[in-house]
A and B are shown apart, each in its own frame.
Chain A
Amino acid sequence: MMKAALEALSVGELLDAFGRQPGGPGGGSAAAVVVALGAALVEMAARASGEHWDQAGGTVAQAVALRDRALALASRDAEAYDAAVAALSGGGDELLGDALARAAAVPLQIAHLGVDVAQVAQLTAEHGGADLAADCIVAGRLACAGTRGAAALVRINLGTTAADPRLEQAAELDARAAAFERALGELEG
Chain B
Amino acid sequence: MSGSSRSYEEEGVAQSLRALRPAPAAWVQAAKELPAARRELDGIVERARADAAYRSAVLKDLEGSLRHAGHGDDVMRAAALRARLSAIPQPGSV
Chain A interfacial positions (CB closer than 8 Å to B): 44, 47-51, 56-58, 60-62, 64-65, 129, 131-132, 135
Assess the B10–A60 pair: CB atoms within 8 A.
yes
6 A-B pairs with least C-beta separation? A57-B8, A48-B3, A61-B14, A57-B10, A61-B10, A58-B10
Instruction: Please classify how large the interface on chain B is, using the bins under 10, 10 to 19, 20 to 34, 35 or more.
Output: 10 to 19
Is B9 on the interface with A (CB-CB < 8 A)?
yes
Total cross-chain contacts (CB, 8 A): 45
Chain A interface helix/strand/loop/mixed: helix
Bound Cα distance A133, B12 (Å): 25
Residues of A within 8 A of B15 (CB): 61, 64
Identify 18 residue pairs between A and B in the complex whose beta-carbon atoms are under 8 Å apart, listed by A's number.
Answer: A47-B3, A48-B1, A48-B4, A48-B5, A49-B3, A50-B3, A51-B3, A56-B8, A57-B8, A57-B11, A58-B10, A60-B11, A61-B10, A61-B15, A62-B14, A64-B14, A64-B15, A132-B1
Is B6 on the interface with A (CB-CB < 8 A)?
yes
Excluding A48-B4, A64-B11, A132-B2, 13 further A-B contacts by CB distance (< 8 Å) are A44-B5, A47-B6, A48-B2, A48-B3, A50-B8, A57-B9, A60-B8, A60-B10, A60-B11, A61-B10, A61-B11, A61-B13, A64-B15
